[in-house]
Chains A and B, each alone.
Chain A
Amino acid sequence: MNPERERRGRELIAKYPRAQSALVPFLQYCQEQDGYVTGEAIDEAAQLVGITPSEAESIASFYSLLFTQPVGKHVIQVCRTLSCMLRGAADLQRHIKGRLGIGHLETTPDGEFTYEEVECLAACDKAPCLQHNLAFEYSVTPEKFDRLLERWRSEEPAPAFPAE
Chain B
Amino acid sequence: MDFEPVITKGIGQLDLADIDVYRRQGGWSALERALTGMTPEQVVNEISASNLRGRGGAGFPTGKKWSFLPKDGRPRYLICNCDEAEPGTFKDRMLLGETPFQLIEGLVLSGYAINAAQIFIYIRGEFLHGSRTFRQALAAAYERGYVGKRILGSGYSVDILVHRGAGAYICGEETAMLESIEGKRGEPRLKPPFPAIAGLYGMPTVVNNVETLCFVPHIINRGARWFAAIGPEKSPGPKIMSVSGHVHKPGNYEVPLGISAGELIELAGGLFPGRRIKAIQPGGGSSAAIFAEDLATSIDFDSLAAKKTMLGSGGFVVMDDTTCMVRAAYSLVRFFEHESCGQCTPCREGGQWIARMLGRLEAGEGTQTDLRVLETINTTITGTNLCPLGDSIMPFLASVLGRYPDEFGRHISLAGCPLREPEPAIA
Contact = CB atoms under 8 A, between A and B. Distances in A.
B398 interface: no
Interface stretch (B9-17, B86-94, B296-304): B86-94
Interface string A144-162: 0000000000000000001
Contact of A120 (B86, B118, B281, B323): B86
B90 A122 contact: yes
A81 B332 contact: yes
Given A124-B242, A135-B128, A83 B87 contact: yes
A83 B84 contact: no
B331 A85 contact: yes
A23 B88 contact: no
Contact of B126 (A18, A121, A141): A121
B424 interface: yes
A160 B81 CA distance: 25
Contacts, number: 157
Q: How large is the interface on A (under 10, 10 to 19, 20 to 34, 35 or more residues)?
A: 35 or more
B256 interface: no
A20 B185 contact: no
A68 interface: no
Given A64-B167, A82-B332, A125-B243, A164 B183 contact: no
B339 A59 contact: no
B328 A85 contact: yes
Nearest to B135: A164
B201 A18 contact: yes
Nearest to B285: A82
A1 interface: no
B317 A82 contact: yes
B90 A88 contact: no
A120 B168 contact: no
A127 B335 CA distance: 17
A80 B424 contact: no
Interface string A107-151: 000000000000111111111100100111001010000000000
Contacts of B245: 82-83, 86-87, 124
A88 B425 contact: yes
Contacts of A47: none
B252 interface: yes
A24 B315 CA distance: 29
Interface in B394-427: 421-426
Nearest to B75: A17
Given A18-B182, A120-B87, A122-B126, A62 B168 contact: yes
A122 B169 CA distance: 11
Contacts of A6: none
Contacts of A125: 90, 242-244, 250-252
Given A63-B168, A65-B126, A82-B245, 6 more contacts: A17-B201, A49-B183, A62-B185, A125-B90, A125-B252, A135-B128
12 contacts: A21-B183, A65-B165, A66-B166, A87-B424, A119-B85, A119-B87, A120-B335, A121-B126, A122-B90, A124-B87, A127-B250, A164-B131
Interface of A: 15-25, 27-28, 49, 58-59, 62-66, 80-83, 85-88, 90-92, 119-128, 131, 134-136, 139, 141, 162, 164
